[in-house]
């Protein structure tokens, strides 16, 4: 029997053409995308497609867009064997991370892909990305949210965009790849095992979050202003989770946590993790009771916080869930 795969087009470079008047890239009709890649027609795969109401550049992506796309997956979940989401690369890692939390007990492939060069261009990377993503989605071997790009399948909530010029745009800094495409597609043992649970879809996400990236000389008033403005804060600290030992900084964090703010600490470094108590400069976070995000990516940390704040949980439960490995986003 043919495997049924649904392509969901959200916009992005993969489906862009040049506006001759403005000399900028804009989304084009989805049907033209399919005509541009006749190779995706297969005797083994039945391919269907759907588009969001208004395809966008992924820099305009927000939680309302996530809900729209997740709803498309939910409404078509029982009718298809897998899903390929065409998405701009700039915020793809954020969307894939968010979907890993929004789609609980997922038992089918939801694979994000896109391209660095529009599909109509001569040197485009779009065709290979699209064709292989479809093949992986139809394989039955992937049962989670992932990103396929330039021969690699990455765990969605472990992926970051690292390059805007090369075809190797993404990296999974602290987690092994899920599959590698060469002459054959080699699937790795890091893939999630298929379960028999019923899909649960979560559509409530809170935007009441901020990222606070520390740098030498950052003003305490700046830190205070950011913390006061939102409920949840992801702090990108130095090295293995370090920060200034200025007592006023520690007092500021302690007061924020007394005020029911949710604060999580992750490392600015691409590789490695934030750890507790390794250096004296960990103390501001340790003393204040800041949550250690270990090796979570910024994208996973932010979207996990958005997801949990949207579940209407109390602060203690949110803190507990942040420290748990919910979807493979954090190493045990």
Q: Which residue numbers are catalytic?
A: 13
Q: How is residue 75 written in tokens?
A: 């409404």
Query: What mean pLDDT is reported for the chain?
Result: 89
Each domain of the chain, given as residue ranges in start order, spans: 3-201, 209-322
pLDDT at 165: 77
Fold of 3-201: Rossmann fold (3.40.50)
pLDDT tens-place string over residues 187-206: 999 998 888 899 999 999 99
Nearest to 115 by CA among 49, 22, 191, 16: 16
Residues 98/92/39/191 CA torsion (nearest 10 deg): -50
Q: Tell me which CATH code domain 209-322 carries.
A: 3.40.50.40
Q: What is the pLDDT of residues 12-26, one digit of tens each?
A: 777 766 666 777 766
> Which value, to the nearest 10 degrees, does the dihedral of the CA atoms of residues 107, 111, 112, 115 take?
180
The reply to whether 3-201 and 209-322 are identical in fold is yes
The whole-number pLDDT of residue 204 equals 95
Q: Which residue has the higher pLDDT, 79 or 289?
A: 79
Question: What was the pLDDT predicted at 34?
Answer: 65
How many CA atoms lie less than 13 Å away from 173 in the CB half-sphere? 19
284 pLDDT more than 80? no
Q: Any residues with CB less than 8 A from the CB of 70 and at least 6 apart, and which?
A: 99, 102, 103, 201, 203
> Is 224's pLDDT higher than 80?
yes
Contact 84, 111 (CB under 8 A): yes
pLDDT of residue 121: 67
pLDDT at position 31: 65
Alpha-carbon span 40 to 42, nearest angstrom: 6
pLDDT of residue 86: 93
Contact, 32 vs 133, CB < 8 A? no
pLDDT of residue 261: 93
């Amino acid at each position: 029997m043919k495997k049924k795969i649904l392509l969901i087009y959200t916009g992005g470079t993969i489906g862009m053409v040049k506006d001759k008047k403005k000399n900028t890239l804009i989304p084009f009709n989805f049907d033209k995308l399919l005509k541009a890649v006749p190779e995706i027609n297969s005797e083994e795969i039945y391919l269907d497609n759907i588009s969001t109401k208004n395809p966008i550049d992924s820099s305009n992506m927000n939680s309302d867009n996530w809900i729209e796309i997740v709803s498309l997956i939910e409404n078509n979940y029982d009718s298809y064997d897998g899903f390929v989401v065409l998405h701009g690369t700039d915020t793809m890692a954020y969307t894939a991370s968010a979907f890993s939390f929004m789609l609980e007990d997922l038992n089918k492939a939801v694979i994000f892909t896109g391209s660095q060069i529009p599909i109509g261009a001569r040197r485009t990377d779009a065709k290979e990305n699209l064709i292989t993503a479809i093949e992986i989605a139809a394989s039955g071997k992937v049962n989670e949210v992932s990103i396929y790009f330039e021969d690699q399948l990455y765990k969605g909530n472990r992926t970051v965009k690292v390059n805007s010029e090369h075809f190797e745009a993404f990296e999974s800094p602290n987690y092994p790849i899920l599959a590698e495409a060469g002459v054959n597609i080699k699937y790795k043992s890091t893939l999630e095992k298929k379960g028999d649970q019923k899909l649960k879809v979560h559509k409530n996400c809170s935007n009441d979050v901020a990222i606070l990236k520390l740098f030498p000389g950052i003003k305490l008033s700046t830190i205070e202003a950011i913390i006061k403005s939102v409920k949840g804060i992801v702090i990108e600290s130095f090295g293995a989770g370090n920060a200034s030992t200025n007592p006023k900084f520690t007092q500021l964090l302690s007061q924020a946590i007394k005020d029911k703010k949710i604060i999580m600490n992750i490392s600015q470094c691409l590789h490695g993790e934030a750890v507790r108590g390794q250096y004296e400069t960990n103390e501001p976070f340790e003393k204040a009771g800041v949550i250690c995000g270990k090796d979570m990516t910024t994208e996973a940390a932010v979207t996990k916080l958005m997801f949990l704040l949207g579940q209407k949980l109390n602060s203690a439960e949110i803190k507990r869930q942040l420290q748990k490995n919910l979807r493979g986003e954090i190493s045990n």
